[in-house]
Structure 1
């Protein structure tokens, strides 16, 4: 059970963790595959409700870790940082009320529609590692005008973890006028069914020089920062015809390669802006500030997928409908948080850590090497 939970979590933790661990996403693939069998409209609602907290958390995690002091490096100086950050999901992101989704074809295990006045809480990605209720997909038989059961499955379990880890490497270089630029970059990488890339750029500028009186305070610095990170990744999916539905498929659909090209694509964009003040005491620098982060994640299932339906014309028989690009989910969020951190610098080596208190709080720890 622990392994399955870590597999589900790894899909979101740098789809990216696959760069380092080649962690499988088989469980996430299976869950999305089952959702797709519910038809495009209901599948999109279920996937968004289940995955949205993780998509938002991933974006806020990408917004962290850009700086380790309120001082911009001098021209020509640089450092290379390697760090790990983690974002913590709030309690209200661990479950969702399935009765409020307005599902069209999905019923309870007894065949009843979900009553929006009777909450049914089921886990999100960050929820408990226990399956949700049994969900049954119905479609209308045009001959009898009655709804008939097509397939049943359970709402998927969560990971059992409310934290999303994320590793990162970054290079920062000092420029003129108390300005520093930082760059993140991971080239397109492939591992098994995973493919992904990441890039980001940030700029830090000291404003003490523009505020009369502050320039004379030794060891005290104030900077503003803005950064952008983009992550793109995809996983191959495998949603084949089931044995029960093979009889409704055409010979072409029964081909072993007909449904090749299925994939789950994740694209995340994260913007952040911060105001940071710091004070240096010998080898220790303490810093604090305010951070705004704005994130957007698109989660799409691309390719064609087999879904059983009834023909609306004679002979009104069951058939396999090829549903193309069935899931298009957009997830957005913005938050403001209070950030505080410490850095210990010894010659060319530094250790640092920080915490941001927000709706999706983050913690970060790392090491740096360089002349700064």
Structure 2
């Protein structure tokens, strides 16, 4: 499995590709069973990604004045807890899946976990010549401790004051393309300082503002050469969209400041297994399975934020921590004017 740990999406699609040698049997057991497993397997990873990509949208409640700007390089990481690493695979929820030892259910790895020792399942399918058949396959494992239990994201962000207590923000990841992977990300935000509109703004020791921000990720992984399944144009496409609504408060000191707030994250991540797949038993080729399934996960979480910012002329450095379903921390290196 390739190690593309800078962006969690690359980790996700790479881990999926590691499991493709078993897609043949999973699809033979039925698209519905394969889809159910994929959804439970991937959801913790995409949920964590949505939390990670929403860190460090702000480093102060005080917005920039008209013409003030800031350029930032930001690195985030969501923390993976034990409950994110495993899920309960109950064979009663599947049509053609069982455990070799007849267990009714077992705790198995998500994309963030690891099966140690390996866990096997039996899948049943109808062969056009040999009739009912059973095949034993190993369940895919996840990244385990391969990324130190962190889901990282990184991007470039800009902020510009447009006057009237309003600041606009944008962030992006330039399109990354390798032989098998493409990834791009962009986002936009609007921050409004409420205290800027008060007559006694200059006398208040703190600033209070609100933020609305949107993030989008597009990713694709080419599976044709790595799936081990006959077919054409095999790929995974992912689209992730999130919204952040945040209330922010911060101090207004000249060098070191502290900020915090309460926010709400809402998002959806959709992954599509696309292309043509021909499931075989080594002798007989089945009918083509085209665009087998789509899976999705959604987050809807309250989060709390605390952070600090150091300002030395044009140079600023900030660090923050978020408490939510996936705790996250972030570091920003910022260069700004006013």
TM-score (norm 2): 0.89
| 5+ long unaligned stretches in structure 1 | 16-22, 242-252, 254-258, 310-316
Residue 109 and residue 301 in structure 1: after superposition, are their counterparts in 2 closer, same or farther (change >3 A)?
same
SS in 2 for 1:159: coil
Residue 129 and residue 65 in structure 1: after superposition, are their counterparts in 2 closer, same or farther (change >3 A)?
farther
* Equivalences, count: 329
Q: CA deviation at 1:218?
A: 3.9
Q: Whole-Å Cα distance in 2 between the matches of residues 348 and 12 of structure 1?
A: 29
Q: Whole-Å Cα distance in 1 between the matches of residues 317 and 100 of structure 2?
A: 54
SS in 2 for 1:52: helix
Q: Whole-Å Cα distance in 1 between the matches of residues 274 and 320 of structure 2?
A: 38
Q: CA deviation at 1:240?
A: 3.6
More strand by share: 2
Match 1:330 to one of 283, 296, 303? 296
Match 1:159 to one of 140, 143, 164? 143
Q: How does 1:348-367 map to 2 (within 5 A)?
A: 348-367=314-333
Match 1:48 to one of 39, 61, 70? 39
Matching of residue 294 in structure 1 with residue 285 in structure 2: no
Give the ranges of 4+ consecutive aligned residues of structure 1 lying more than 6 Å apart after TM superposition: none
Q: CA deviation at 1:143?
A: 7.4
When the two chains are superposed, the root-mean-square deviation of aligned CA atoms in Å is 2.5
Contact 2:278 2:285 in 1 (8 A): no
Residue 131 and residue 171 in structure 1: after superposition, are their counterparts in 2 closer, same or farther (change >3 A)?
farther
Contact 2:25 2:137 in 1 (8 A): no
Residue 279 and residue 78 in structure 1: after superposition, are their counterparts in 2 closer, same or farther (change >3 A)?
same
Residue 356 and residue 100 in structure 1: after superposition, are their counterparts in 2 closer, same or farther (change >3 A)?
farther
Match 1:188 to one of 172, 175, 186? 175
Q: Whole-Å Cα distance in 2 between the matches of residues 362 and 91 of structure 1?
A: 15
Match 2:305 to one of 339, 343, 367? 339
Query: Which deviates further from its counterpart, 199-208 or 177-186?
Result: 177-186
Residue 135 of structure 1 corresponds to 121
Q: How does 1:193-212 map to 2 (within 5 A)?
A: 193-210=180-197
Contact 2:221 2:235 in 1 (8 A): yes
Q: CA deviation at 1:13?
A: 1.3
Residue 158 of structure 2 corresponds to 171
TM-score (norm 1): 0.81
Matching of residue 28 in structure 1 with residue 16 in structure 2: yes
